Each structure stands twice: as structure tokens, then as C-alpha cells.
Structure 1
């Protein structure tokens, strides 16, 4: 699986976490979810964690699916 890139996060004053992907808003986490996210970022690869939390990660089969006969137009 290719390593995700282009994610960044910002901790706001109201303890929420704002996650962006290539400059666009991807998710805003508040309260308990924000705390769980920050704990997970400390222990793992931040880019991979942000991709997983936002659901913006690739599975590696997009090209195969696009070239399948039923998906051709």
C-alpha cells in the first residue's frame, strides 16, 4: 500500500482537531474523538493515522477496478 501524504492537522483553542488534506478540510474531531486521535498520532505514523481517521486512503485496487469491463464506458 502506498504511504499517504499531504495530510496535516491543527489543534484549535476549543480542543478540537482540524484535519486537512492538501489544503482542503477533511475532518474536524471534537472532545473524546480528538483526544483519541492525538493519542494515536503520538504512537504511530501521523500520515497513516490521519488517512485512516478521515477515510481518505487508497486501497491499491483503483486502477484494476477502473479497467474492469463492467466499469468501462
Structure 2
């Protein structure tokens, strides 16, 4: 399922922590310099938000993943 069918969501806490969720579950919590760098970039457009959040969580296809062929 892609980002369109199962998008990331986020919220920013009062303490400046960035909480990233997907399907109602917390995927990652970012704080410190990483959160401070990412937060200003969010909110520009939903598409770019999805890409930024996917990259921050490591859930981003780079095109170099190996595909396993199963022989039955």
C-alpha cells in the first residue's frame, strides 16, 4: 500500500517533539536537531509532507531494494 492509501500523519508536541503516525500507530518520535530541521518544512503541501515523513522514518523506497524470487 502506498502513501496515498495509507498516509503518514504527524503532530508537534508543546515540547517541540515531532510524533509521526501511520494507520493510527506511532511510527517514530523525533526530537532535538532532527525535529527542529524537519518541522519548518512540513505544511507546505501534503505530497511533500508525505515524502518528508517517509524519509524521516526510513520507510522510503530508493529503488535499490533486492527482490526475492521464490521458486516453488
What TM-score, normalized to structure 1?
Answer: 0.69
Greater length-normalized contact order (CA 8 Å, ≥ 6 residues apart): 1
* Higher helix residue share: 1
* Counterpart residue number, 2:37: 36
* Counterpart residue number, 2:28: 27
Larger-gyration structure (1/2): 1
- The runs of 4+ residues in structure 1 deviating greater than 6 Å are none
Tell me whether 1:50 sits opposite 2:50 in the alignment: no
**Deviation digits for residues 15-65 of structure 1, max 9, x if unmatched?**
101001111111101122111111232456101100010011234677x81
The two structures, once aligned, show a CA RMSD in angstroms of 2.9
The number of aligned residues is 68
